[in-house]
Structure 1
Amino acid sequence: MKLIYSLLSLILIANSSLAQTSENYNEDKSEVKSEEVTKPTIIALSPHIVEMLFDVGAGKQIIGTTTFADYPEQAKKIPIIGSYVRLQIERVIELQPDLIIAWKSGNPSDDLARLEQLGFNIVYSQPHTFADVASEVRLFGEISGHAKQGEKVAAKFEQDIEEITKTYKNKSEITGFYEQWSRPLTTVAKNSWPQQFLNICQVKNPFEQVLTPYPQVNIEQLLPAEIQVIIQPLSENQKQLEGFNWQDWSIIPAVKNKQIIQPDADKMHRMTLRSVSALKDLCVEVDQTREILQQKHS
Protein backbone atom coordinates (compact mmCIF):
# COMPACT_ATOMS: atom_id res chain seq x y z
CA MET A 1 0.00 0.00 0.00
CA LYS A 2 2.88 2.36 0.91
CA LEU A 3 4.41 1.56 -2.48
CA ILE A 4 1.19 2.59 -4.24
CA TYR A 5 1.03 5.90 -2.28
CA SER A 6 4.67 6.56 -3.13
CA LEU A 7 4.04 5.95 -6.81
CA LEU A 8 0.99 8.24 -6.76
CA SER A 9 3.02 10.97 -5.04
CA LEU A 10 5.75 10.73 -7.69
CA ILE A 11 3.16 10.95 -10.49
CA LEU A 12 1.54 14.01 -8.89
CA ILE A 13 4.92 15.73 -8.46
CA ALA A 14 5.88 14.97 -12.05
CA ASN A 15 2.59 16.29 -13.37
CA SER A 16 2.95 19.39 -11.24
CA SER A 17 6.47 20.00 -12.61
CA LEU A 18 5.31 19.51 -16.19
CA ALA A 19 2.42 21.88 -15.66
CA GLN A 20 4.74 24.47 -14.14
CA THR A 21 7.24 24.06 -17.00
CA SER A 22 4.43 24.38 -19.54
CA GLU A 23 3.12 27.45 -17.71
CA ASN A 24 6.58 29.04 -17.69
CA TYR A 25 7.04 28.21 -21.38
CA ASN A 26 3.71 29.78 -22.23
CA GLU A 27 4.57 32.85 -20.16
CA ASP A 28 7.93 33.22 -21.91
CA LYS A 29 6.30 32.72 -25.28
CA SER A 30 3.64 35.28 -24.53
CA GLU A 31 6.31 37.73 -23.36
CA VAL A 32 8.19 37.35 -26.65
CA LYS A 33 4.95 37.66 -28.54
CA SER A 34 4.03 40.72 -26.49
CA GLU A 35 7.40 42.32 -27.27
CA GLU A 36 6.90 41.70 -30.98
CA VAL A 37 3.43 43.21 -30.82
CA THR A 38 4.76 46.40 -29.20
CA LYS A 39 7.14 46.96 -32.13
CA PRO A 40 5.04 49.00 -34.58
CA THR A 41 4.84 48.49 -38.33
CA ILE A 42 6.15 51.57 -40.11
CA ILE A 43 5.85 53.32 -43.44
CA ALA A 44 8.99 55.42 -43.95
CA LEU A 45 8.52 58.14 -46.55
CA SER A 46 12.10 58.98 -47.51
CA PRO A 47 15.49 57.29 -48.04
CA HIS A 48 17.05 59.03 -45.01
CA ILE A 49 14.23 57.85 -42.72
CA VAL A 50 14.59 54.26 -43.96
CA GLU A 51 18.34 54.38 -43.39
CA MET A 52 18.03 55.69 -39.84
CA LEU A 53 15.41 53.08 -38.96
CA PHE A 54 17.80 50.35 -40.08
CA ASP A 55 20.52 52.01 -37.96
CA VAL A 56 18.39 51.66 -34.81
CA GLY A 57 17.40 48.06 -35.61
CA ALA A 58 13.88 48.70 -36.91
CA GLY A 59 14.47 47.85 -40.57
CA LYS A 60 12.28 44.75 -40.52
CA GLN A 61 9.34 46.80 -39.28
CA ILE A 62 9.23 48.95 -42.43
CA ILE A 63 6.35 47.82 -44.66
CA GLY A 64 6.41 50.63 -47.22
CA THR A 65 8.64 53.42 -48.50
CA THR A 66 9.27 55.80 -51.41
CA THR A 67 11.53 55.76 -54.46
CA PHE A 68 15.34 55.91 -54.06
CA ALA A 69 15.28 54.18 -50.64
CA ASP A 70 18.21 51.97 -51.59
CA TYR A 71 20.41 51.83 -48.48
CA PRO A 72 21.20 49.49 -46.84
CA GLU A 73 20.84 46.69 -49.40
CA GLN A 74 17.81 45.21 -47.58
CA ALA A 75 15.94 48.47 -48.15
CA LYS A 76 15.60 47.62 -51.84
CA LYS A 77 13.13 44.86 -50.91
CA ILE A 78 10.68 47.23 -49.19
CA PRO A 79 7.50 47.84 -51.23
CA ILE A 80 7.41 51.27 -52.93
CA ILE A 81 4.20 53.16 -52.16
CA GLY A 82 5.03 56.54 -53.69
CA SER A 83 7.58 59.25 -54.39
CA TYR A 84 8.25 62.87 -53.42
CA VAL A 85 5.60 63.83 -55.99
CA ARG A 86 2.70 61.57 -54.98
CA LEU A 87 1.83 58.88 -52.43
CA GLN A 88 -0.43 55.89 -53.09
CA ILE A 89 -3.06 56.60 -50.45
CA GLU A 90 -5.02 53.42 -51.22
CA ARG A 91 -1.88 51.33 -50.68
CA VAL A 92 -1.24 53.01 -47.33
CA ILE A 93 -4.82 52.24 -46.27
CA GLU A 94 -4.33 48.64 -47.36
CA LEU A 95 -1.09 48.26 -45.38
CA GLN A 96 -2.55 49.85 -42.20
CA PRO A 97 0.78 50.89 -40.63
CA ASP A 98 0.94 51.60 -36.91
CA LEU A 99 3.14 54.57 -37.69
CA ILE A 100 4.04 56.77 -40.66
CA ILE A 101 7.32 58.72 -40.54
CA ALA A 102 7.19 61.49 -43.16
CA TRP A 103 9.72 63.98 -44.48
CA LYS A 104 8.10 67.34 -43.78
CA SER A 105 9.60 69.18 -46.75
CA GLY A 106 10.10 66.17 -49.02
CA ASN A 107 6.62 64.60 -49.22
CA PRO A 108 3.44 65.96 -50.87
CA SER A 109 1.72 67.99 -48.15
CA ASP A 110 -1.78 67.35 -49.50
CA ASP A 111 -1.29 63.58 -49.31
CA LEU A 112 0.03 63.85 -45.75
CA ALA A 113 -2.94 66.01 -44.77
CA ARG A 114 -5.30 63.39 -46.16
CA LEU A 115 -3.55 60.61 -44.25
CA GLU A 116 -3.87 62.64 -41.05
CA GLN A 117 -7.58 63.11 -41.74
CA LEU A 118 -7.89 59.34 -42.15
CA GLY A 119 -6.49 58.95 -38.64
CA PHE A 120 -3.01 57.67 -39.35
CA ASN A 121 -0.32 58.40 -36.75
CA ILE A 122 2.28 60.57 -38.52
CA VAL A 123 5.66 61.64 -37.11
CA TYR A 124 7.57 64.25 -39.10
CA SER A 125 11.28 64.25 -39.90
CA GLN A 126 13.09 67.48 -40.80
CA PRO A 127 16.80 67.37 -39.94
CA HIS A 128 18.81 70.48 -40.83
CA THR A 129 22.04 69.79 -38.91
CA PHE A 130 24.17 66.96 -37.56
CA ALA A 131 22.64 67.64 -34.13
CA ASP A 132 19.18 67.13 -35.64
CA VAL A 133 20.26 63.77 -37.05
CA ALA A 134 21.33 62.58 -33.59
CA SER A 135 18.03 63.78 -32.10
CA GLU A 136 15.96 62.04 -34.76
CA VAL A 137 17.91 58.79 -34.41
CA ARG A 138 17.04 58.81 -30.71
CA LEU A 139 13.41 59.61 -31.50
CA PHE A 140 13.14 56.86 -34.11
CA GLY A 141 14.69 54.43 -31.65
CA GLU A 142 12.08 55.29 -29.03
CA ILE A 143 9.00 55.19 -31.23
CA SER A 144 10.06 51.98 -32.99
CA GLY A 145 10.84 50.10 -29.77
CA HIS A 146 14.65 50.28 -30.05
CA ALA A 147 15.51 53.12 -27.67
CA LYS A 148 18.71 51.49 -26.41
CA GLN A 149 20.17 51.04 -29.90
CA GLY A 150 19.02 54.52 -30.88
CA GLU A 151 20.89 56.08 -27.99
CA LYS A 152 24.01 54.02 -28.69
CA VAL A 153 24.37 54.96 -32.36
CA ALA A 154 23.38 58.60 -31.78
CA ALA A 155 26.03 59.01 -29.07
CA LYS A 156 28.69 57.46 -31.33
CA PHE A 157 27.67 59.80 -34.16
CA GLU A 158 27.96 62.87 -31.90
CA GLN A 159 31.35 61.74 -30.65
CA ASP A 160 32.66 61.24 -34.21
CA ILE A 161 31.46 64.70 -35.30
CA GLU A 162 33.12 66.28 -32.27
CA GLU A 163 36.43 64.54 -32.97
CA ILE A 164 36.46 65.60 -36.64
CA THR A 165 35.60 69.17 -35.65
CA LYS A 166 38.52 69.27 -33.20
CA THR A 167 40.90 67.83 -35.79
CA TYR A 168 40.27 70.59 -38.33
CA LYS A 169 39.27 73.61 -36.25
CA ASN A 170 42.74 75.22 -36.40
CA LYS A 171 43.36 74.58 -40.10
CA SER A 172 43.77 77.58 -42.39
CA GLU A 173 40.73 78.41 -44.50
CA ILE A 174 40.71 77.84 -48.24
CA THR A 175 38.06 79.26 -50.56
CA GLY A 176 35.75 76.71 -52.10
CA PHE A 177 32.71 76.41 -54.33
CA TYR A 178 30.10 73.77 -53.58
CA GLU A 179 28.19 72.54 -56.63
CA GLN A 180 24.81 71.41 -55.36
CA TRP A 181 23.45 71.07 -58.89
CA SER A 182 24.78 71.70 -62.39
CA ARG A 183 21.71 72.65 -64.44
CA PRO A 184 21.12 75.40 -63.48
CA LEU A 185 24.34 75.92 -61.57
CA THR A 186 23.31 75.92 -57.92
CA THR A 187 25.39 76.26 -54.77
CA VAL A 188 24.79 76.40 -51.01
CA ALA A 189 24.55 79.10 -48.37
CA LYS A 190 23.77 79.42 -44.67
CA ASN A 191 20.86 77.25 -43.50
CA SER A 192 21.66 74.63 -46.14
CA TRP A 193 22.61 71.09 -45.11
CA PRO A 194 26.08 71.06 -46.80
CA GLN A 195 27.22 74.37 -45.28
CA GLN A 196 28.08 72.64 -42.00
CA PHE A 197 30.49 70.35 -43.90
CA LEU A 198 32.27 73.43 -45.26
CA ASN A 199 32.40 75.06 -41.82
CA ILE A 200 33.97 72.04 -40.15
CA CYS A 201 36.46 71.39 -42.98
CA GLN A 202 37.44 75.10 -42.95
CA VAL A 203 36.25 75.87 -46.45
CA LYS A 204 35.28 79.51 -46.97
CA ASN A 205 32.09 79.75 -49.01
CA PRO A 206 31.81 83.12 -50.85
CA PHE A 207 28.03 82.61 -51.06
CA GLU A 208 27.48 81.69 -47.42
CA GLN A 209 25.58 84.87 -46.51
CA VAL A 210 23.05 84.61 -49.33
CA LEU A 211 19.57 84.40 -47.81
CA THR A 212 18.40 81.54 -50.04
CA PRO A 213 19.83 78.22 -48.75
CA TYR A 214 20.44 76.94 -52.30
CA PRO A 215 21.07 79.96 -54.57
CA GLN A 216 21.46 79.76 -58.34
CA VAL A 217 24.65 81.43 -59.54
CA ASN A 218 26.57 82.04 -62.75
CA ILE A 219 30.23 81.69 -63.60
CA GLU A 220 30.77 85.44 -63.66
CA GLN A 221 29.91 85.54 -59.95
CA LEU A 222 32.56 82.92 -59.20
CA LEU A 223 35.50 84.55 -60.94
CA PRO A 224 36.20 87.33 -58.39
CA ALA A 225 36.17 84.80 -55.51
CA GLU A 226 39.41 83.10 -56.62
CA ILE A 227 38.01 79.61 -55.92
CA GLN A 228 40.76 77.26 -54.70
CA VAL A 229 38.76 74.04 -54.50
CA ILE A 230 35.55 72.89 -56.17
CA ILE A 231 33.36 70.33 -54.38
CA GLN A 232 31.18 68.50 -56.89
CA PRO A 233 29.19 65.65 -55.27
CA LEU A 234 27.91 63.05 -57.75
CA SER A 235 25.39 60.26 -57.29
CA GLU A 236 24.74 56.97 -59.06
CA ASN A 237 21.04 57.82 -58.85
CA GLN A 238 21.45 60.92 -60.99
CA LYS A 239 20.23 60.50 -64.57
CA GLN A 240 23.34 62.32 -65.70
CA LEU A 241 26.43 61.60 -63.67
CA GLU A 242 28.27 64.49 -65.29
CA GLY A 243 28.29 67.68 -63.31
CA PHE A 244 29.15 71.16 -64.53
CA ASN A 245 31.91 71.22 -67.15
CA TRP A 246 34.61 73.04 -65.21
CA GLN A 247 37.33 72.23 -67.74
CA ASP A 248 36.10 75.13 -69.89
CA TRP A 249 37.06 77.52 -67.09
CA SER A 250 40.79 77.10 -66.51
CA ILE A 251 40.88 80.74 -65.40
CA ILE A 252 39.49 79.52 -62.05
CA PRO A 253 42.44 78.52 -59.77
CA ALA A 254 40.75 75.29 -58.64
CA VAL A 255 40.38 74.17 -62.26
CA LYS A 256 43.88 75.28 -63.21
CA ASN A 257 45.37 73.35 -60.27
CA LYS A 258 43.07 70.34 -60.81
CA GLN A 259 41.54 70.66 -57.36
CA ILE A 260 38.03 69.30 -57.97
CA ILE A 261 36.70 66.95 -55.30
CA GLN A 262 33.85 64.58 -56.21
CA PRO A 263 32.38 63.00 -53.04
CA ASP A 264 29.49 60.53 -52.95
CA ALA A 265 26.35 62.69 -53.16
CA ASP A 266 24.17 60.11 -51.37
CA LYS A 267 26.44 60.15 -48.33
CA MET A 268 26.79 63.93 -48.44
CA HIS A 269 23.18 64.86 -49.01
CA ARG A 270 21.23 62.28 -47.02
CA MET A 271 20.67 63.37 -43.45
CA THR A 272 21.82 60.11 -41.86
CA LEU A 273 24.59 58.62 -39.75
CA ARG A 274 26.59 58.00 -42.94
CA SER A 275 27.07 61.75 -43.24
CA VAL A 276 29.85 61.51 -40.64
CA SER A 277 31.80 59.32 -43.06
CA ALA A 278 31.19 61.87 -45.84
CA LEU A 279 32.38 64.66 -43.55
CA LYS A 280 35.57 62.82 -42.66
CA ASP A 281 36.35 62.03 -46.30
CA LEU A 282 35.68 65.60 -47.41
CA CYS A 283 37.91 67.12 -44.73
CA VAL A 284 40.73 64.75 -45.66
CA GLU A 285 40.48 65.70 -49.35
CA VAL A 286 40.24 69.41 -48.58
CA ASP A 287 43.31 69.08 -46.37
CA GLN A 288 45.19 67.48 -49.27
CA THR A 289 44.28 70.49 -51.43
CA ARG A 290 45.41 72.78 -48.61
CA GLU A 291 48.81 71.06 -48.54
CA ILE A 292 49.20 71.28 -52.32
CA LEU A 293 48.44 75.02 -52.25
CA GLN A 294 50.86 75.57 -49.38
CA GLN A 295 53.61 73.78 -51.31
CA LYS A 296 52.95 75.95 -54.37
CA HIS A 297 53.34 79.10 -52.29
CA SER A 298 56.38 77.95 -50.31
Structure 2
Amino acid sequence: MKTLLICLFACLPLLTHAGSAVHDDRGRRVALPRPAQRIVSLAPHLTEVLFAIGAGKALVGAVDYSDHPPAALRIPRVGGYHGFDLERIRALKPDLIVGWAGGNPAQQLAQLEALGIPLFLADSKRLRDVPTVFERLGLLTGRGPEAGAAATRFRTQLAALGQRYAARKPVRVFYQVWDRPLLTINRDQIISDAMRLCGGVNVFADLPALVPTVDDEAVLRADPEVIVTSGEPGANGDWLARWRRWPALQAVRHGRLHTVPQDLLSRMGPRLVDGTALLCQAIDSARR
Protein backbone atom coordinates (compact mmCIF):
# COMPACT_ATOMS: atom_id res chain seq x y z
CA MET A 1 0.00 0.00 0.00
CA LYS A 2 2.83 2.39 0.96
CA THR A 3 4.56 1.70 -2.36
CA LEU A 4 1.32 2.42 -4.26
CA LEU A 5 0.87 5.77 -2.50
CA ILE A 6 4.46 6.75 -3.26
CA CYS A 7 3.90 5.97 -6.94
CA LEU A 8 0.67 7.98 -7.03
CA PHE A 9 2.27 11.06 -5.48
CA ALA A 10 5.25 10.74 -7.80
CA CYS A 11 2.89 10.69 -10.79
CA LEU A 12 0.83 13.74 -9.76
CA PRO A 13 2.95 16.23 -11.73
CA LEU A 14 2.62 14.02 -14.81
CA LEU A 15 -1.15 13.78 -14.40
CA THR A 16 -1.45 17.54 -13.90
CA HIS A 17 0.49 18.34 -17.07
CA ALA A 18 -0.57 15.35 -19.12
CA GLY A 19 -1.37 15.95 -22.74
CA SER A 20 -4.72 15.35 -24.33
CA ALA A 21 -6.13 14.64 -27.75
CA VAL A 22 -9.63 14.97 -29.18
CA HIS A 23 -11.26 14.97 -32.60
CA ASP A 24 -12.90 18.19 -33.73
CA ASP A 25 -16.02 18.46 -35.86
CA ARG A 26 -14.03 17.96 -39.05
CA GLY A 27 -12.87 14.61 -37.71
CA ARG A 28 -9.31 15.93 -37.37
CA ARG A 29 -7.24 14.93 -34.35
CA VAL A 30 -6.17 17.87 -32.17
CA ALA A 31 -3.43 16.98 -29.68
CA LEU A 32 -1.76 19.12 -27.01
CA PRO A 33 1.24 18.18 -24.84
CA ARG A 34 -0.33 20.01 -21.88
CA PRO A 35 -3.58 21.91 -21.15
CA ALA A 36 -3.90 25.04 -23.27
CA GLN A 37 -2.75 28.20 -21.49
CA ARG A 38 -3.06 30.78 -24.30
CA ILE A 39 -6.20 30.47 -26.43
CA VAL A 40 -7.54 32.52 -29.32
CA SER A 41 -11.28 32.22 -30.02
CA LEU A 42 -12.56 32.91 -33.53
CA ALA A 43 -16.30 32.89 -32.73
CA PRO A 44 -18.39 34.60 -30.02
CA HIS A 45 -20.17 31.37 -29.09
CA LEU A 46 -16.84 29.59 -28.55
CA THR A 47 -15.72 32.45 -26.32
CA GLU A 48 -18.86 31.82 -24.27
CA VAL A 49 -18.14 28.10 -24.14
CA LEU A 50 -14.63 28.66 -22.82
CA PHE A 51 -15.92 30.90 -20.05
CA ALA A 52 -18.68 28.40 -19.24
CA ILE A 53 -16.15 25.60 -18.68
CA GLY A 54 -13.86 27.77 -16.56
CA ALA A 55 -11.20 28.42 -19.21
CA GLY A 56 -11.97 32.11 -19.81
CA LYS A 57 -8.77 33.30 -18.13
CA ALA A 58 -6.73 31.44 -20.75
CA LEU A 59 -8.19 33.57 -23.57
CA VAL A 60 -5.63 35.97 -25.03
CA GLY A 61 -7.56 36.90 -28.19
CA ALA A 62 -11.16 36.90 -29.44
CA VAL A 63 -13.22 38.24 -32.34
CA ASP A 64 -15.73 41.09 -32.48
CA TYR A 65 -19.06 40.53 -30.72
CA SER A 66 -17.43 38.33 -28.08
CA ASP A 67 -19.42 40.17 -25.44
CA HIS A 68 -20.65 37.51 -23.02
CA PRO A 69 -19.90 37.22 -20.18
CA PRO A 70 -18.83 40.85 -19.52
CA ALA A 71 -15.23 39.72 -18.89
CA ALA A 72 -15.03 38.77 -22.57
CA LEU A 73 -15.12 42.47 -23.51
CA ARG A 74 -11.64 42.90 -22.05
CA ILE A 75 -10.03 40.34 -24.35
CA PRO A 76 -7.91 41.82 -27.20
CA ARG A 77 -9.60 41.61 -30.62
CA VAL A 78 -8.09 39.70 -33.53
CA GLY A 79 -10.72 40.37 -36.21
CA GLY A 80 -14.33 39.64 -36.95
CA TYR A 81 -16.82 38.01 -39.26
CA HIS A 82 -15.03 39.01 -42.46
CA GLY A 83 -11.54 37.95 -41.45
CA PHE A 84 -8.72 37.91 -38.93
CA ASP A 85 -5.43 39.68 -38.35
CA LEU A 86 -3.11 36.71 -38.79
CA GLU A 87 -0.05 38.64 -37.63
CA ARG A 88 -1.87 39.72 -34.51
CA ILE A 89 -2.85 36.13 -33.78
CA ARG A 90 0.70 34.90 -34.26
CA ALA A 91 2.06 37.66 -32.01
CA LEU A 92 -0.24 36.48 -29.20
CA LYS A 93 1.58 33.11 -29.27
CA PRO A 94 -1.48 30.92 -28.69
CA ASP A 95 -1.07 27.24 -27.93
CA LEU A 96 -4.64 26.60 -29.12
CA ILE A 97 -7.00 28.30 -31.57
CA VAL A 98 -10.71 27.46 -31.49
CA GLY A 99 -12.74 28.29 -34.59
CA TRP A 100 -16.09 27.78 -36.30
CA ALA A 101 -15.87 25.52 -39.35
CA GLY A 102 -19.18 26.78 -40.73
CA GLY A 103 -18.62 30.49 -40.10
CA ASN A 104 -14.92 31.38 -40.35
CA PRO A 105 -13.26 32.07 -43.75
CA ALA A 106 -11.90 28.73 -44.98
CA GLN A 107 -8.81 30.30 -46.57
CA GLN A 108 -7.75 31.97 -43.34
CA LEU A 109 -8.36 28.80 -41.35
CA ALA A 110 -5.98 27.03 -43.74
CA GLN A 111 -3.41 29.80 -43.20
CA LEU A 112 -3.69 29.39 -39.45
CA GLU A 113 -3.16 25.64 -39.77
CA ALA A 114 -0.05 26.35 -41.84
CA LEU A 115 1.39 28.23 -38.86
CA GLY A 116 1.48 24.95 -36.96
CA ILE A 117 -0.75 26.14 -34.11
CA PRO A 118 -3.24 23.49 -32.92
CA LEU A 119 -6.66 24.38 -34.34
CA PHE A 120 -9.94 22.97 -33.01
CA LEU A 121 -12.94 23.60 -35.27
CA ALA A 122 -16.48 23.24 -33.97
CA ASP A 123 -19.52 23.00 -36.24
CA SER A 124 -22.57 21.84 -34.28
CA LYS A 125 -25.39 20.72 -36.58
CA ARG A 126 -27.88 19.65 -33.91
CA LEU A 127 -28.63 20.70 -30.35
CA ARG A 128 -27.16 17.45 -29.09
CA ASP A 129 -23.81 18.35 -30.66
CA VAL A 130 -23.34 21.50 -28.56
CA PRO A 131 -22.45 19.90 -25.20
CA THR A 132 -19.89 17.64 -26.87
CA VAL A 133 -17.95 20.80 -27.74
CA PHE A 134 -17.92 21.71 -24.03
CA GLU A 135 -16.48 18.30 -23.17
CA ARG A 136 -13.79 18.23 -25.85
CA LEU A 137 -12.62 21.75 -25.07
CA GLY A 138 -12.64 20.75 -21.41
CA LEU A 139 -10.10 18.05 -22.20
CA LEU A 140 -7.90 20.42 -24.20
CA THR A 141 -7.92 23.06 -21.45
CA GLY A 142 -7.61 20.77 -18.42
CA ARG A 143 -11.15 21.70 -17.35
CA GLY A 144 -12.77 18.31 -17.68
CA PRO A 145 -14.94 18.37 -14.53
CA GLU A 146 -16.23 21.91 -15.17
CA ALA A 147 -16.92 21.07 -18.82
CA GLY A 148 -18.72 17.88 -17.82
CA ALA A 149 -20.94 19.82 -15.42
CA ALA A 150 -21.77 22.44 -18.08
CA ALA A 151 -22.58 19.69 -20.60
CA THR A 152 -24.82 17.92 -18.09
CA ARG A 153 -26.74 21.12 -17.35
CA PHE A 154 -27.29 21.71 -21.06
CA ARG A 155 -28.49 18.16 -21.70
CA THR A 156 -30.76 18.16 -18.65
CA GLN A 157 -32.47 21.39 -19.73
CA LEU A 158 -32.89 20.10 -23.29
CA ALA A 159 -34.38 16.84 -22.06
CA ALA A 160 -36.87 18.75 -19.90
CA LEU A 161 -37.96 20.85 -22.90
CA GLY A 162 -38.28 17.74 -25.06
CA GLN A 163 -40.50 16.04 -22.48
CA ARG A 164 -42.66 19.14 -22.08
CA TYR A 165 -43.42 19.66 -25.77
CA ALA A 166 -43.07 16.17 -27.28
CA ALA A 167 -46.78 15.33 -27.36
CA ARG A 168 -48.13 18.76 -28.24
CA LYS A 169 -49.82 19.71 -31.47
CA PRO A 170 -47.43 20.60 -34.35
CA VAL A 171 -47.31 24.31 -35.20
CA ARG A 172 -46.25 25.77 -38.56
CA VAL A 173 -43.50 28.38 -38.08
CA PHE A 174 -41.70 30.93 -40.24
CA TYR A 175 -38.33 31.96 -38.83
CA GLN A 176 -37.02 35.26 -40.20
CA VAL A 177 -33.24 35.59 -40.11
CA TRP A 178 -32.97 38.95 -41.88
CA ASP A 179 -35.21 41.63 -43.28
CA ARG A 180 -33.70 42.86 -46.56
CA PRO A 181 -33.18 40.52 -48.27
CA LEU A 182 -35.74 38.35 -46.54
CA LEU A 183 -33.82 35.33 -45.23
CA THR A 184 -34.96 32.19 -43.45
CA ILE A 185 -33.57 28.73 -42.61
CA ASN A 186 -33.98 25.22 -43.97
CA ARG A 187 -34.21 21.95 -42.03
CA ASP A 188 -30.43 21.61 -41.63
CA GLN A 189 -29.87 24.84 -39.69
CA ILE A 190 -29.54 24.28 -35.93
CA ILE A 191 -32.42 26.67 -35.11
CA SER A 192 -34.66 24.35 -37.14
CA ASP A 193 -33.57 21.56 -34.80
CA ALA A 194 -34.60 23.72 -31.84
CA MET A 195 -37.92 24.31 -33.60
CA ARG A 196 -38.48 20.55 -33.91
CA LEU A 197 -37.83 20.07 -30.20
CA CYS A 198 -40.63 22.57 -29.51
CA GLY A 199 -43.05 20.84 -31.86
CA GLY A 200 -42.62 23.48 -34.53
CA VAL A 201 -42.71 22.74 -38.25
CA ASN A 202 -40.42 24.91 -40.37
CA VAL A 203 -42.51 26.05 -43.36
CA PHE A 204 -39.34 26.38 -45.47
CA ALA A 205 -37.60 23.22 -44.27
CA ASP A 206 -37.34 21.76 -47.79
CA LEU A 207 -35.44 24.62 -49.42
CA PRO A 208 -31.92 23.54 -50.52
CA ALA A 209 -29.87 26.41 -49.08
CA LEU A 210 -29.03 26.51 -45.37
CA VAL A 211 -30.10 30.18 -45.18
CA PRO A 212 -32.31 30.72 -48.26
CA THR A 213 -33.76 33.94 -49.62
CA VAL A 214 -37.57 34.03 -49.86
CA ASP A 215 -40.12 36.72 -50.70
CA ASP A 216 -43.28 38.04 -49.09
CA GLU A 217 -45.46 36.06 -51.48
CA ALA A 218 -43.84 32.77 -50.41
CA VAL A 219 -44.53 33.55 -46.77
CA LEU A 220 -48.13 34.48 -47.57
CA ARG A 221 -48.61 31.18 -49.41
CA ALA A 222 -47.11 29.24 -46.50
CA ASP A 223 -49.43 31.10 -44.08
CA PRO A 224 -47.50 30.23 -40.88
CA GLU A 225 -49.27 30.10 -37.54
CA VAL A 226 -46.30 31.78 -35.84
CA ILE A 227 -43.58 34.13 -37.10
CA VAL A 228 -40.36 34.39 -35.10
CA THR A 229 -37.33 36.59 -35.66
CA SER A 230 -34.14 37.38 -33.81
CA GLY A 231 -33.79 40.79 -35.43
CA GLU A 232 -33.39 43.55 -32.87
CA PRO A 233 -36.31 46.01 -33.03
CA GLY A 234 -35.03 49.54 -33.45
CA ALA A 235 -31.66 48.58 -34.91
CA ASN A 236 -32.94 48.18 -38.47
CA GLY A 237 -36.58 49.02 -37.87
CA ASP A 238 -39.18 46.62 -36.54
CA TRP A 239 -38.72 43.52 -38.67
CA LEU A 240 -42.09 42.14 -37.69
CA ALA A 241 -43.97 45.31 -38.69
CA ARG A 242 -43.92 44.34 -42.38
CA TRP A 243 -46.23 41.39 -41.73
CA ARG A 244 -48.95 43.54 -40.19
CA ARG A 245 -49.76 44.74 -43.70
CA TRP A 246 -51.46 41.36 -44.20
CA PRO A 247 -54.03 40.95 -41.39
CA ALA A 248 -55.34 37.76 -43.00
CA LEU A 249 -52.03 36.00 -42.30
CA GLN A 250 -52.67 33.54 -39.45
CA ALA A 251 -49.72 34.71 -37.38
CA VAL A 252 -50.86 38.33 -37.70
CA ARG A 253 -54.55 37.66 -37.19
CA HIS A 254 -53.87 35.95 -33.86
CA GLY A 255 -51.01 38.21 -32.71
CA ARG A 256 -48.32 35.55 -32.92
CA LEU A 257 -45.31 37.65 -33.95
CA HIS A 258 -42.37 37.01 -31.64
CA THR A 259 -38.78 38.15 -31.19
CA VAL A 260 -36.20 35.95 -29.46
CA PRO A 261 -32.90 37.70 -28.56
CA GLN A 262 -30.38 36.92 -31.28
CA ASP A 263 -27.52 36.04 -28.96
CA LEU A 264 -29.61 33.36 -27.28
CA LEU A 265 -30.78 31.58 -30.40
CA SER A 266 -28.03 32.06 -32.98
CA ARG A 267 -24.97 31.29 -30.84
CA MET A 268 -24.20 27.60 -30.43
CA GLY A 269 -23.04 27.98 -26.86
CA PRO A 270 -24.39 27.47 -23.34
CA ARG A 271 -27.22 30.02 -23.74
CA LEU A 272 -28.71 28.27 -26.78
CA VAL A 273 -30.85 26.17 -24.46
CA ASP A 274 -32.32 29.39 -23.01
CA GLY A 275 -33.09 30.63 -26.51
CA THR A 276 -34.72 27.30 -27.32
CA ALA A 277 -36.95 27.65 -24.26
CA LEU A 278 -38.10 31.09 -25.46
CA LEU A 279 -38.68 29.71 -28.97
CA CYS A 280 -40.81 26.94 -27.48
CA GLN A 281 -42.90 29.52 -25.61
CA ALA A 282 -43.43 31.50 -28.83
CA ILE A 283 -44.50 28.37 -30.71
CA ASP A 284 -46.74 27.29 -27.85
CA SER A 285 -48.69 30.55 -28.17
CA ALA A 286 -50.41 29.06 -31.22
CA ARG A 287 -51.72 26.19 -29.10
CA ARG A 288 -53.36 28.57 -26.66
Q: Shorter-chain TM-score: what band?
A: 0.7 to 0.9
Larger CA deviation: 71-80 vs 246-255 = 246-255
Identity %: 28
Among residues 116, 121, 129, which one is paired with 1:119 in the alignment? 116
Q: Say whether the 8 Å CA contact 2:127–2:194 is kept in structure 1.
A: no
Alpha-carbon separation, structure 2, partners of 1:46 and 1:90:
18
| TM-score normalised per structure 1 | 0.82
Q: Say if 2:55 is the partner of 1:49.
A: no
In the alignment, structure 1 residue 159 sits paired with structure 2 residue 153? no
Aligned residues: 261
Does residue 281 in structure 1 map to residue 256 in structure 2? Answer: no
Q: 1:235 to 1:226 in 2, by over 3 A?
A: closer
CA offsets, 1:226-259, max 9 Å, x none?
A: 32111111248x9525325212222211112211
Structure 2 CA distance for aligned equivalents of residues 75 and 181 of structure 1: 26
Alignment of 1:15-94 (within 5 A): 38-94=35-91
Match of 2:236 among 237, 240, 246: 240
2-structure distance, mates of 1:206, 1:234: 19
CA distance in structure 1 between the partners assigned to 2:77 and 2:129 by the alignment: 26
Instruction: Pick the structure with greater CA Rg.
Output: 1
Residues 215-235 of structure 1, C-alpha deviation per residue, up to 9 Å, x if partnerless?
211121122323211111124
Where 2:205 maps in the other structure, the secondary structure is: coil
Letter in 2 for 1:198: M
- Contact kept, 8 Å, 2:36 with 2:96, in 1: the verdict is no
- With the length of structure 2 as denominator, give the TM-score of the two structures: 0.84
Q: State the Cα distance separating 1:84 from its structure 2 match.
A: 2.0
Q: Over aligned residues, Cα RMSD in angstroms?
A: 2.3
- What residue identity is the alignment partner of 2:116? G
C-alpha spacing 1:225/1:107, structure 2 compared with 1 (3 Å): closer
Shift of 1:199: 0.7
Counterpart mapping for 1:125-140 below 5 A: 125-140=122-137
Report the Cα offset of residue 266 of structure 1. Answer: 0.9
Q: Distance in 2 between matches of 1:223 and 1:115?
A: 45
Pick aligned residue for 1:206 from 198, 203, 206:
203
Q: Which has the higher strand share?
A: 2
Aligned partner letter, 2:63:
T
Partner of 2:167: 170
Aligned with residue 101 of structure 1, among 98, 102, 122: 98
Amino acid at match of 2:95: D
**Contact preservation (8 Å) 1:234, 1:241:** no
**How far is 1:198 from its partner?**
1.4
TM-superposed CA distance for 1:262, in Å, is 0.7
Q: 2:266 matched to 1:269?
A: yes
Residues 157 and 210 from structure 1, CA distance in 2 versus in 1: closer, same or farther, beyond 3 angstroms? same
Aligned-residue offset at 1:60: 0.5
Task: Give the SS at the match of 1:204.
Answer: strand
CA contact (8 A) 1:235 1:266 kept: no
